[in-house]
Amino acid sequence: MRPVVALTGGSGGIGRAAAAAFARSGFAVLIAGRDAAALAQAEAEAARAAAGAPGAPAPALATLAADLAAPGGASAVVDTAVRRFGRLDVLVSGAAVTGPLRRPLWEVTDDAWQAVLDANLTAAWRTAAAALRHAIAAGTPLRLVQVSSGIARGAVAGLGPYGVSKWALEGLSAALAADAERAPVAVTVVTVRPPSVRSAMTRAWLPEAEAARLPGPEIVAPALLEAAIAPRERVHGRVLRVAPDGAIEMLG
Ligand SMILES: NC(=O)c1ccc[n+]([C@@H]2O[C@H](COP(=O)([O-])OP(=O)(O)OC[C@H]3O[C@@H](n4cnc5c(N)ncnc54)[C@H](OP(=O)(O)O)[C@@H]3O)[C@@H](O)[C@H]2O)c1
């Protein structure tokens, strides 16, 4: 039976490339995002990628347009994966926004701060919690892959809320890994830290020429796949840091 992955942020640069890589590797893929047109493109790309694999069966793909910052979005991801594919093995939490750009923290409004934490942290917790409740009820193992950033454990001036959200996301990974030890099913938690890559996010933040020189988002996909399929004892509770050349370093 095919393994099933749900990807949040699947309509964005990194998520889209990951959806294609997971489909090519034989996963059934739920691609979640908000923008219906971008989701349709991501699904078409994943279908092409899967069809290119030698001896590949027909790809199993679905999309979900849902705002994960709103209540109900997280459970919709899990419910849709289970309804379409019968199970959920891997959740990749990649949805995020950069929030206010080039603003020092003392100029950030309450609403802007909250919007970043809602999308980048609370949504990841809610989605992981919904997936865990399902896995425990179904008695099936679950792998949680959290997409962090090199900004975690560092700081970039003018990107305060985003940076804080990624530090907190790595805290969420650690807390989930600790709680996983008490779960009645095998839960594996892995964090992936991509380098800067070309995407809507970096195009909004960097000067155009600099953004264009970045590596493509597809260089992150092998680390996401590795996080999803490597033996639990090798990756549980660890951080996979991806270098700009795609090399993967295991931390922790
Ligand atoms: N690009 C980089 O250089 C870089 C570096 C390190 C880490 N990362 C991380 O990698 C992940 C993907 O980034 P990216 O570069 O691919 O960014 P992107 O192209 O801007 O994609 C962001 C994704 O998040 C989704 N999203 C945002 N808010 C959402 C919400 N409230 N509900 C549902 N979906 C929401 C977007 O959906 P819609 O577009 O459909 O609204 C989109 O699919 C993020 O976690 C980011 O922090 C990126």
Q: Ligand 1, residue 198: give the atom nearest the CA.
A: 1
DSSP 229: H
User: Please, what's the largest Cα pairwise distance for the chain?
Assistant: 57
Say how many Å lie between the CA of residue 129 and the centre of ligand 1.
20
Residues in Cβ contact with 139 at an 8 Å cutoff, skipping those fewer than 6 apart: 184, 185
pLDDT digit string (tens) for 21-78? Answer: 999 999 999 999 999 999 999 999 999 999 976 777 788 999 999 999 998 999 999 9
CA angle 210/154/68 to nearest 5° reads: 80
pLDDT at 197: 97
What is the pTM for the complete model shown? 0.97
Question: For residue 18, what are the CA distances in angstroms to 23, 27, 92, 150?
Answer: 8, 11, 9, 18
Ligand 1 atom 35: residue of nearest CA = 95
CATH architecture of the domain 4-251 equals: 3-Layer(aba) Sandwich (3.40)
Compute the distance between CA of residue 62 and CA of residue 85 in angstroms, rounded to an integer: 9
Domain range list for the chain: 4-251
| 52 exposure class (CB count in 10 Å sphere: 0-12, 13-18, 19+) | exposed
